[in-house]
Chain A
Amino acid sequence: MKRNRRLGWLIIIASFVLFVSVSLLRDGRYEGVWGMIGTISSGLLGGGVVAGVALIRNSRNEETAKKASIAQRDERNIAIRGKAAYITLNVQFFLIFLYSAYIMYILDDSTTAFIGYGIAAAGLILNAVLYRIYEKKM
């Protein structure tokens, strides 16, 4: 319980530190790569705060924490999450490729477009590596 509360606060503080650090490093640059990094850090801040608050809230009530723990480990929930993640991943790849192609050909910004392709490639490589790992484990 206490561990979860501490972890929750740690996630929130880390998200804020990351966001503030990125904001300071950007130094007023809002376009191109820095614009993208800023957007990512804002997303991480939002996600971090939501995850942190959920952890802190669950750690206050034992019944809620128990329910949350069961929901987290519930095999049907895991199957649903897996299916949803699989479809989301495929749609995301498609959108990233489409967006990168748009940036490259219409806006003629190959650097930003290749960052998009790089992110998609990293995702595909991670997917292939995880497949191999799970293939050996199962």
Chain B
Amino acid sequence: MFAQILRTHWAWTRALVGVLALLTFVTPAFVWRLANLGTSGAPPALALMEGFAAAGVILAFLAVLGAFAIAAQPWTVDAATNHVYPLSLPIPWARYLAMRYSAGALMLLGPTLALWLGCVMALAMVELPDVLRSYAGALALRFLLASLLAYSATFALQHLAGRRAPMVLLVSILALVVVGFGVGIVAGRADLVDATLRLLIEWPGPFAIFTEPWVLVDV
């Protein structure tokens, strides 16, 4: 049954996975090309580190966007038929969700592999000084974890809020901003907002993976 679900997941999201894989593949080379315009020869180590630094931001954005699409698309297809197919299956709902979730998570491996290959190719184009080390594998793993996290959050939101998911997400963000800044301004307690944000983005918060450094080359 899992093979069947995986097959349908692939059929529904292959275009998205393909585009995401292409984007992650070209990002390292593209970023380096942008940073290195106007200069020639071997750049100093610092320029190399700074040149590749922008890749982290772009990749974090792609991780969120791609994972969101990969989680939302199959749900939309299911919802169009009021989930008749999954509900008619002779298995518990949680087991069906586990298979659906796993199938989506497997789709994330494609863009991750493409990113790793893209990093290796981009690094092959530059002469890396001996003081620098490449972290292509670590960067790809970070991308996979960030994608998986964004995918899981979207998956949960979509299955809990149903068709109202975009509205719930929007309202949640607005509420966080309004309440957070409102409390900060009214009570003069900017530290409350900071503390809340830190809980979310610092280890072991859910989104710590996005704020830790995403580096392709480092000392």
Partners in one complex: no
Question: Residues on B close to A: CB < 8 A?
Answer: none
* Interface residues in chain A, defined as those with a beta carbon under 8 Å from any beta carbon in chain B: none
